Each structure stands twice: as structure tokens, then as C-alpha cells.
């Protein structure tokens, strides 16, 4: 049983891949007392229900399952002296002077002090209410992640004939999983003219299993009073409105929603952190520090990641910067604003410092072929294809950043002929 101390150098909220990597980063920075708190029984976060392979290709050059990937970090964290792990406990509140209130069955209600806090609470799925699908409210409509948990962790099948609304990665993965479990997946229906999941998942989960992907298509009505009986599907026009004259019905007993993730930021809002309305996460500096000094953020709570390897890379840095701060080593303030320009939906972090190499993550607004990523007027990187579902990772050298000292650095994605 974990015996809690009254003071920790770094307290980490969430024991998913972000929280675990932040603990490793904080330890590597020299911190002696680190606490990871998670509300679940096991550390690993959402990875515990992702039993398919495909994790760790960047970090370990191996294809691991989600639990295998999490296990590597759980072992590392357990083997380090000075890292306490507290499961089945919930962080209720963080005060601006970094007093952390937590509650758990083994500890009761406790307040501890922290030198720095890392927010790594992950994300939750957008559910049916978020998109107001017309129709009845029968049993059998659920998020793809809930179905993933039922099948992979509880040994239950959500239904027999499944329609999937939205082409997010979890929906694509579940299309394959449910087919392998003997269900019939009628198709994946996506309102946008492009898929919202990774290309590798479209190939490995849909094409390889002959599951149709209907783009520019939405669910116009859900039928069935007690249980889902069928769904009316319709193509959408350019304004995304369903063209009901061309609608058709598909029989199914289950509808899975894979329509995006929302960063889990209740604590961030309680702390009145400055938020980015586009990412849904806090605004952060180049050290991943939020607008409240001493509070850092990483992983899906900061912005939604498509690859866990990126979560790990970002979170190790957040943990290391939090650890440095807790040990009294503060970095100079950032003096460059980062601005999302043409065809860039967002960039993280929001401000930069020219004193070191900086990792920037960004997403495009719409798919574009043969384009150029332009950084101010100084750096141009040719890109064959950008799509909104695949995050772009960029490292910017200090010599480039020094040219923008005290100004704004704009990132654009432009066609090659405009560059
Ligand atoms: C349902 C679902 C399925 C996914 N499937 C895949 C997939 O198949 N492949 C893939 O590459 N990516 C998948 N992802 C993306 C995945 O979320 C990221 O790759 C990665 O897991 C994000 O890590 P994280 O640590 O930021 O968040 P998470 O893994 O979500 O971990 C956050 C942790 O914080 C804990 N927590 C939250 N609030 C508190 C609190 N107040 N107190 C204590 N603990 C708290 C939660 O219990 C959780 O364990 C999936 C995401 C979801 C939501």
C-alpha cells in the first residue's frame, strides 16, 4: 500500500501513457519525490483496452499492443525509487498554490503539497448528445470506446449487426475487432468527404476486411423504440445537410459512435487556466507549462494525439520541465508567439523560446497534396500529403527561432506553386 508523503516534488494527475512518461521525465531531471495518481485500478489509461497491435513503432521500433506498451512504462516507473503510484484515487482539486486534494478508498480525503503538478487526465469520447442525431433513444447506441471496453475487457458483445457513425480511429479499430468476433459490420459512415482516422487503420481495419467506408454520408434517423432496429443513412451536400431524397435504410441492432475525443479538462477549468478553444486543452508555453505557474499539461488533455508515441515524447518533456521547476531551475520566459496560418488548425505549444530546439505539433484543416509547410519566411518543408487525422510533428532549431525573437512566428501549409 502506498504511504503518502505530505510533500512531493511533482504530482501527476493521471496514470495513462502521458502520466507514466511524465514521471519518467521528472525522474530523469533529478526529482526524488514523484506521485502518480489514477482513478482506475490499473495504470496505463485507455491503453489497457487497446489490445490490438500498432503501438510503439516510433519509440521502440516494435509493434506492441496497448497493454504491452503501457507495461514497459509501468515497469520502468515501478523500478525507480522515489516514484509513488496511487491507484483508485481521484484528484478533486488543485489550488493555485499547488495544494492537491485527493480522495481514494485506501487514503480517504487527503491534502498534499506539490512543487509542480502535471495534468495528464486524457480525453473522453464525444457521445450521441453532442451531434443531436434525429430518431428514437433505444438501447444499442454507444460510443466505440465503450464497445471496445466491453469486448476487450469484459468479454461482452454489444450486438450482432453493427453500423458505425464517424470514421475516428477507435471506430475503425472496432469495425475490425467486431468482425473478428463474428459480428457483421454494415459499414462506417462519415459526414466529411475524407476519413478521420489514420490511413494505416483504413487499410488494415476496413479494406483488409471488406468493410465499406461511406464518405459524405450521415445518419438521418435512428429507428427502434426499445432496441435499435435500423438506421436511415443519407448522403450530405456541401453544406453537410442530409439529402433525404437519396436516403436508404440499413438494418442493424447496434450503432457505434466514433465522432471524436474531448480533452478531460474539468480540473483545468477549476484552476481557471487559459484554454485554447480549438484544441479544447490549456494554452501552454514551450516548457508545456500552463498559464498557472507550476502547472504543466501533456497527452490527450492538452490536445488529441493520434499516436501514443507522440504522447510519450511530449509527456517526458513536460515531466522533465516540471521536475526542473520543482528543483528551483526555472527556464527563461518565452518571447515568440506561435500562430496557426493557412490550412493550420492549431499548433502546440502556443509560445516558443529561442534558447533550445523545440518540438511543435500541428494539424491541418483540410487534406492537401503536394504542399509546403512554411515557417515564417525561413523554413520550408515539402509534404506529399497532409490530412486532418494525422498530426504533423516538427522540431525547430534555435538558430531559426532566434530570427523571431520578440515577434510572432506563423506556420502555413501552402500549395507548392504558391511557395
Ligand atoms: C476509448 C479510446 C480508445 C483509444 N484507442 C486507441 C487506439 O486503439 N490506438 C491509439 O493509438 N490510440 C487510441 N486512443 C488514443 C489514446 O487516448 C492516446 O494514444 C493515449 O492513450 C493518451 O494518453 P493519455 O495518458 O493522455 O490519456 P489516457 O490514456 O486517457 O489516460 C488518462 C488517465 O487519467 C486518469 N484520470 C483522469 N482524470 C483523473 C483525475 N481527476 N484523478 C485521477 N486520475 C484521473 C484516467 O483514469 C486515465 O487513466 C484511444 C482513446 C480513447 C479515449
pLDDT in tens, 93-127: 999 999 999 999 889 999 999 999 999 999 999 98
pLDDT band of residue 48 (cuts 50, 70, 90) is very high
Tell which residue, 387, 346, 348, 389, has the closest CA to residue 366: 387
Contacts of 315 (CB under 8 A, 6+ apart): 17, 18, 19, 20, 21, 22, 25, 118, 120, 298, 299
Please report which helix (H) or strand (E) contains residue 23, including its range.
Answer: helix 17-28
Q: What is the CATH number of domain 127-259?
A: 3.50.50.60
- Would you say the CB of residue 228 lies under 6 angstroms from ligand 1? no
Expressed in angstroms and rounded, the spacing between residue 16 Cα and the centre of ligand 1 is 6
CATH classification (class only), 337-418: mainly beta
Expressed in angstroms and rounded, the spacing between residue 46 Cα and the centre of ligand 1 is 4
For the segment 358-368, the average pLDDT, to the nearest whole number, is 95
Mean pLDDT score of the chain, rounded to an integer? 94
Strands (E), 216-355: 217-223, 230-235, 248-251, 254-257, 261-263, 295-297, 336-340, 344-348, 351-352
Tell which residue, 156, 129, 135, has the closest CA to residue 229: 135
DSSP H helical ranges for 29-120: 66-79
Expressed in angstroms and rounded, the spacing between residue 22 Cα and the centre of ligand 1 is 14
- Would you say the CB of residue 40 lies under 6 angstroms from ligand 1? yes
- Would you say the CB of residue 35 lies under 6 angstroms from ligand 1? no
Contact between 367 and 388 (Cβ < 8 Å):
yes
The DSSP annotation for 107-127 comes to TEEEEEEEEEEEE---EEE--
pLDDT in tens, 153-212: 999 999 999 999 999 999 999 999 999 999 999 999 999 999 999 899 999 999 999 999
- Would you say the CB of residue 158 lies under 6 angstroms from ligand 1? no
| pLDDT higher than 80, residue 404 | yes
Q: 7-124+262-331 with 127-259: one CATH topology?
A: yes
- Would you say the CB of residue 256 lies under 6 angstroms from ligand 1? no
Please check whether the domain covering 7-124+262-331 is classified as CATH 3.20.20.150: no
- Would you say the CB of residue 18 lies under 6 angstroms from ligand 1? yes
Expressed in angstroms and rounded, the spacing between residue 121 Cα and the centre of ligand 1 is 7
pLDDT band of residue 5 (cuts 50, 70, 90) is confident
Contact between 43 and 92 (Cβ < 8 Å):
no
Expressed in angstroms and rounded, the spacing between residue 359 Cα and the centre of ligand 1 is 22
For the segment 297-324, the average pLDDT, to the nearest whole number, is 96
Choose which residue among 2, 11, 13, 14 to substitute to test ligand 1 binding: the one with the highest number of ligand atoms within 8 A of its C-beta.
14
- Would you say the CB of residue 349 lies under 6 angstroms from ligand 1? no
CB-based burial, 362-381: b 16+ in 10 Å, e otherwise: bbbeebbeebbbbbbeebee
pLDDT band of residue 149 (cuts 50, 70, 90) is very high
pLDDT band of residue 419 (cuts 50, 70, 90) is low
pLDDT in tens, 250-280: 999 999 999 999 999 999 999 999 999 999 9
**What are the domain boundaries of the chain?**
7-124+262-331, 127-259, 337-418
pLDDT in tens, 306-317: 899 999 999 999
* pTM, to two decimals: 0.94
Amino acid at each position: 500500500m502506498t504511504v503518502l508523503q505530505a510533500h512531493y516534488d511533482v504530482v501527476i494527475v493521471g496514470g495513462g501513457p502521458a502520466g507514466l512518461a511524465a514521471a519518467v521525465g521528472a525522474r530523469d531531471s533529478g526529482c526524488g519525490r514523484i506521485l502518480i495518481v489514477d482513478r482506475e485500478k490499473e495504470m496505463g489509461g485507455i491503453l489497457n483496452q487497446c489490445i490490438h497491435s500498432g503501438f510503439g513503432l516510433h519509440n521502440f521500433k516494435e509493434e506492441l499492443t496497448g497493454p504491452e506498451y503501457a507495461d514497459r512504462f509501468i515497469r520502468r516507473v515501478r523500478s525507480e525509487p522515489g516514484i509513488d503510484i496511487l491507484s483508485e484515487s481521484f484528484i478533486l482539486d488543485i489550488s493555485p498554490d499547488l495544494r492537491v486534494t485527493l480522495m481514494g478508498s485506501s487514503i480517504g480525503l487527503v491534502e498534499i503539497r506539490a512543487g509542480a503538478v502535471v495534468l495528464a487526465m486524457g480525453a473522453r469520447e464525444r457521445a450521441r448528445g453532442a451531434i443531436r442525431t434525429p430518431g428514437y433513444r433505444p438501447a444499442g447506441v454507444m460510443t466505440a470506446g465503450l464497445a471496445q471496453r466491453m469486448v476487450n475487457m469484459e468479454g461482452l458483445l454489444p450486438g450482432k449487426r453493427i453500423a458505425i457513425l464517424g470514421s475516428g480511429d477507435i471506430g475503425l479499430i472496432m469495425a475490425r475487432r467486431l468482425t473478428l468476433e463474428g459480428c457483421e459490420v454494415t459499414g462506417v459512415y462519415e459526414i466529411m468527404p475524407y476519413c478521420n482516422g489514420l490511413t494505416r487503420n483504413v487499410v488494415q481495419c476496413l479494406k483488409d476486411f471488406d468493410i465499406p467506408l461511406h464518405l459524405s454520408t450521415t445518419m438521418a434517423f435512428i429507428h427502434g423504440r426499445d432496441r435499435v432496429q435500423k438506421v436511415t443513412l443519407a448522403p450530405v451536400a456541401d453544406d453537410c445537410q442530409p439529402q433525404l431524397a437519396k436516403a436508404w435504410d440499413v438494418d442493424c441492432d447496434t450503432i457505434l459512435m466514433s465522432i471524436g475525443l474531448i480533452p478531460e479538462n474539468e480540473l483545468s477549468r477549476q484552476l481557471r487556466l487559459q484554454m485554447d478553444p480549438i484544441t479544447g486543452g490549456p494554452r501552454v508555453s514551450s516548457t508545456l507549462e500552463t498559464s498557472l505557474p507550476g502547472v504543466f499539461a501533456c497527452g490527450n488533455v492538452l490536445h488529441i494525439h493520434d499516436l501514443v508515441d507522440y504522447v510519450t515524447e511530449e509527456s517526458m518533456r513536460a515531466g522533465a520541465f516540471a521536475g526542473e521547476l520543482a528543483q528551483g531551475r526555472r527556464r527563461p520566459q518565452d518571447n515568440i508567439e506561435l500562430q496557426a496560418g493557412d490550412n493550420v488548425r492549431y499548433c502546440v505549444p502556443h509560445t516558443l523560446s529561442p534558447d533550445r530546439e523545440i518540438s511543435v505539433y500541428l494539424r491541418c484543416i483540410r487534406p492537401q497534396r503536394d504542399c509546403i509547410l512554411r515557417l515564417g519566411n525561413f523554413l520550408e518543408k515539402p509534404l506529399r500529403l497532409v490530412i486532418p487525422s494525422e498530426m504533423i510533428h516538427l522540431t525547430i532549431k534555435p538558430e531559426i527561432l532566434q530570427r523571431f525573437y520578440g515577434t510572432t512566428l506563423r506556420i502555413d501549409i501552402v500549395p507548392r506553386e504558391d511557395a
